Amino acid sequence: MLVFLPGCWKGIPCFDAMPENTGQICSFDDALTHCADHAAGEGILLSDALEKIGPNAFCFASILLAVPFIQPVPLGPLSMICGASFIALGWQMARGHHKPVLPKSADGLRIHGKFWLGVIAFTRRILSFTRKFSRERCGQWVEGERGRRTVGWLILAGGALLAMPMANLPLNNFFPALMIFSAALAWIERDGLMVILSLAWGGMTVLYFAAVGAALWFFGAKAIDWFMPAAVAAFSKP
């Protein structure tokens, strides 16, 4: 039976380490609105946007990057590139960073208003859909530093699974992407059940990869057993 804790709250709280005069918006929805208002004119610096979104920026980026992989067709080398990005995001989140640490070349990148507004609108459509089944519950899984580390490690693990070179197998991106998406959603919505679901998707990923590996080993051994005698007989003929 699910336990609905009265201590859960809407949005993500500001961390004590944040100065009060930074203008940090606590609610994720309010942070998006604030960024949209700033981007409406000449755009907004990527570093400023991440500062406004704060600790939610890790999961904000993870959700946006995970969505293209939630489909059965593998995306080839892009899986390894984005997998490395998830590993970096998860590591920084688990280590307690306030926001994602960007390369110096990207820190001063200005995002044009129309593009940023499109990103925010897309994010809100995603959350509008997920909030049909996700809500604040099982808060012990996502509270405080332990919750942040848990979500960070789940994103990191999902990125590692996504980056594994599994050729072009169908669904090899699907399960890790759902693991990452569920973990990120758990943090943004304060939904501890999504942490459990993320673990389940991770388990399914491992089982899927193990089953594929076992099948390749079995049928590969059968093929070798069939091929080797024929090859030896062919090459042994005078």
**120, part of any domain:** yes
Q: Quote the domain boundaries for residue 37.
A: 20-228
Number of domains in the chain: 1
| C-alpha span between 150 and 192 (Å, rounded) | 11
* Tens-digit pLDDT profile for residues 134-188: 888 887 888 888 999 999 999 999 999 999 877 577 888 999 999 999 999 999 9
**141, part of any domain:** yes
**12, part of any domain:** no
Report pLDDT for 155: 96
* Tens-digit pLDDT profile for residues 15-34: 333 333 333 335 787 788 77
Question: For the whole model, what pTM was predicted?
Answer: 0.78
What radius of gyration do the chain's Cα atoms show? 22
**5, part of any domain:** no
**219, part of any domain:** yes
**218, part of any domain:** yes
